[in-house]
Amino acid sequence: MEASPQILTSCRGITSDELIYLSSPYSGDEDDRYMLACEAAGKLMLAGYTVFSPIAHNHTIARVSCVPMDYAYWKRYSHIMLSHCALMAVLTLPNWEDSVGVSGEIDDARSVGLPIAYLDPDFEITADPNADVDAEVGHANQ
């Protein structure tokens, strides 16, 4: 897969000391989407990136503690986490455009000027964030 210049520009300069916010849709098939979010976060982490995935982080917390699982509950939490990130990456699982949570997170990222990258679900990553090499991660924000 060839990455577009926009995504390479978005990723360039992101180091292992900076946080990437991995947004992904959740509602519909929560357990499968949780696993896909974990897989994507793991790929980025194995490439040396520091990643926060609200789905990977909060799914188990919500299940174990009976915390609500809807975006309305998690919106403030997501906004705070986004404010600490250098890049937002959106995992483009089926129907991601219809996700209230992903849409809200994109709006929040844009409001603070955060660059946004869109990752195909089967993305491959070949970059070390501290090396002078770019990642092949899908298509970019237009």
Summarised one tens digit per residue, pLDDT across range 13-69 is 677 788 999 999 988 787 788 899 999 999 888 888 899 999 888 767 777 787 777
pLDDT at 10 over 80: no
Which domains are present in the chain?
Answer: 5-140 (3.40.50.10400)
| pLDDT for the residue 6 | 35
pLDDT at residue 140, as a whole number: 41
What is the percent of the chain with per-residue pLDDT over 90, rounded to a whole number?
A: 35
Q: Give residue 40's region: left, alpha or beta (phi > 0; psi -120 to 50).
A: alpha
Tell me, what DSSP letter sits at residue 4? P
Task: Specify the long-range contacts of residues 11-16, CB closer than 8 Å, at least 24 apart.
Answer: 11/87, 11/117, 11/127, 11/129, 11/134, 11/135, 11/137, 12/134, 14/49, 14/86, 14/87, 14/129, 15/129, 15/130, 16/48, 16/49, 16/50, 16/129, 16/130
Rounded to two decimals, the pTM is: 0.77
